[in-house]
Amino acid sequence: MRILLTGGAGFIGSAVTRLLVLEKAATVLVVDKLTYAGDRRSLRDCEGKPGFAFEQADICDLPRMRALMAEFRPDAVMHLAAESHVDRSITGAADFIQTNINGTFAMLEAARAYHAALEPAARSAFRFHHISTDEVFGSLGPTGAFSETTAYDPRSPYSASKAASDHLVRAWHETYGLPVLVTNCSNNYGPYHFPEKLIPLIILNALDGKPLPVYGDGSNIRDWLYVEDHARALVTVVERGKVGETYCIGGRSERRNLEVVQTICDLLDQRVQAARPRRELITFVADRPGHDQRYAIDCGKIERELGWKQRESFETGIAATIDWYLANGWWWQPLREKKYSGERLGLLAAAERQEASVKVG
Ligand code: NAD
Ligand code: DAU
Return the ligand 1 atom nearest residue 185 CA: 43
**Catalytic hit among 58, 135, 196, 229:** 135
Q: Which class would CATH give 2-192+223-253+291-312?
A: alpha beta
**What is the model's pTM?**
0.97
Phi, psi of 127 (to 5 degrees): -135, 140
Say if CB 320 and CB 190 are below 8 A apart: yes
Provide the Cα torsion 198, 205, 255, 328; round to 10°: 80
134 is catalytic: yes
Strands (DSSP E) contained in the chain are: 2-6, 27-32, 52-56, 76-79, 127-133, 180-185, 188-189, 212-215, 221-223, 225-226, 246-249, 254-256, 282-285, 358-359
Distances (CA, A) of 140 to 134, 167, 199, 216, 294: 11, 21, 21, 17, 5
Mean pLDDT over each residue of the chain, to the nearest integer: 96
Q: Whose Cα sits closest to atom 29 in ligand 1?
A: 80
Return the ligand 2 atom nearest residue 344 CA: 36
CB-defined site of ligand 1, < 6 Å: 6-7, 9-13, 32-35, 37-38, 58-60, 80-84, 99, 103, 131-133, 162, 185, 187-188, 194
Beta bridge partners of 95: none
Q: Whose Cα sits closest to atom 33 in ligand 1?
A: 84
Q: Which of 181, 200, 248, 196 is nearest to 83 (CA)?
A: 196
Name the band, by pLDDT with cuts 50, 70 and 90, for residue 349.
Answer: confident
pLDDT score for 215: 98
**Degrees, nearest 5: CA angle 247-250-254:** 150
pLDDT score for 358: 44
pLDDT tens digits, residue range 204-245?
A: 999 999 999 999 999 999 999 999 999 999 999 999 999 999
pLDDT score for 350: 72
Ligand nearest to the CA of 199: 2
Rg of the chain in Å (alpha carbons):
20
Say if CB 125 and CB 181 are below 8 A apart: no
352 is catalytic: no
CB-defined site of ligand 2, < 6 Å: 84-87, 133-135, 186-187, 197-198, 201, 213-215, 220, 222, 257, 288, 295
pLDDT tens digits, residue range 172-210?
A: 999 999 999 999 999 999 999 999 999 999 999 999 999
36 is catalytic: no
Residue extents of the structural domains in the chain: 2-192+223-253+291-312
Say if CB 5 and CB 29 are below 8 A apart: yes
15-28: average pLDDT: 98
Say if CB 166 and CB 130 are below 8 A apart: yes
